[in-house]
Amino acid sequence: MSDRLRLMAVHAHPDDESSKGAATLARYSAEGHEVMVVSCTGGERGDVLNPRLQGDAEIERDLPKVRRREMAAAQAILGVQHTWLGFVDSGLPEGDPLPPLPEGCFALEPLDVTTEALVRVIREFRPHVITTYDENGGYPHPDHIMCHVVSVAAFRAAGDASAYPHAGEPWQPLKLYYDRGFSRAKLTAFHEALTEAGIESPYAEWIANWGDRPEGRITTRVPCSDYFGKREQALLAHATQVDPDGNFFRITKEMQARVWPTEDFDLTLSYVQPGEGVEDDLFAGLGSADDADQLATTGDRTLVVDDVRAREEA
């Protein structure tokens, strides 16, 4: 494909790429575009969430090695490139009061260090579009929140020749999206579909726990139901991190394709003027790869969407 565009998905841990936007990644890869997943950490402090694998001697001896092998399997299923940013999982502190985060973990690294690392990857891969998490991290894991902070900072810095001059030639990504994997509306649609089919739904509690939390804005719905099977396979490849008999798989991919055939995103930073209504393509407005390359490498551009700053100033 001569007109290949490039998409980068920045995630906190291995397995996040398979549970958040994976069908979109698989679709764009299958269509001939270049897709890269960046894992900020190795997931070293993750728990074994699959009851079938708890107590496994190899996993207990070297979980990081196992998670790297799982990531390689998921990468192959999705048909994407992958790189490790190289930071250490912060873990999810629990307790009252919360214990301090471990020294040297991703969430405690200086922002200049983490940002330069991601800027280096951006300038090497040269993505036109980046996806990541919102300011709440999707959920408030310290690594997810740090992933958001670093992604926004690197998006802003990558095209600035004066920023991190030793991290490669400047390259300005043109659009930054937040992943909107779950919403009250989506959970409700799943719940109603299962109930109508006479299947016990796990989503009633999720919906009740949503409370007064506002829905995240959705600007873009990417049709990708043909790749829900790839998404499921990739998630199952992270065998230590998912219970194959758990609630995540209660609703079949066929039922999901019928009631919610898209993966959803929020355009938050953009040098490309968004069109009217809801987009159906993360590459909307970019034109050809040559056009997008020219805009990414010249200074003649204006940030026309800056919802990050708008939220900070609100």
Among 82, 64, 61, CA closest to 73: 82
Establish whether 238 is an annotated binding residue.
no
| 68, 42 Cβ separation under 8 angstroms | yes
Phi, psi of 131 (to 5 degrees): -120, 150
Total-model pTM: 0.96
Q: How far apart are CA 226 and CA 155, in angstroms?
A: 30
Query: 75: which 2 tokens?
Result: 């990468």
The answer to whether 33 is a known ligand-binding residue is no
CA–CA separation, 164 vs 127, rounded Å? Answer: 18
Hey, how many other C-beta atoms are within 10 angstroms of the C-beta on 203? Answer: 21
* Sequence ranges of the domains in the chain: 6-180+217-309, 184-215
What is the C-alpha to C-alpha distance for residues 76 and 81, in angstroms, rounded to an integer? 8
Dihedrals phi, psi of 241, to nearest 5 degrees:
-105, 0
Cα end-to-end distance, the chain, whole Å: 43
∠ CA 105-144-233, nearest 5°, is 110
Class of domain 6-180+217-309: alpha beta
Per-residue pLDDT of the chain (314 residues; tens, 9 = 90+): 458 999 999 999 999 999 999 999 999 999 999 999 999 999 999 999 999 999 999 999 999 999 999 999 999 999 999 999 999 999 998 888 889 999 999 999 999 999 999 999 999 999 999 999 999 988 889 999 999 999 999 999 999 999 999 999 999 999 999 999 988 999 999 999 999 999 989 898 888 888 777 888 999 999 999 999 999 999 999 999 999 988 888 899 999 999 999 999 999 999 999 989 999 999 999 999 999 999 999 878 999 999 987 776 66
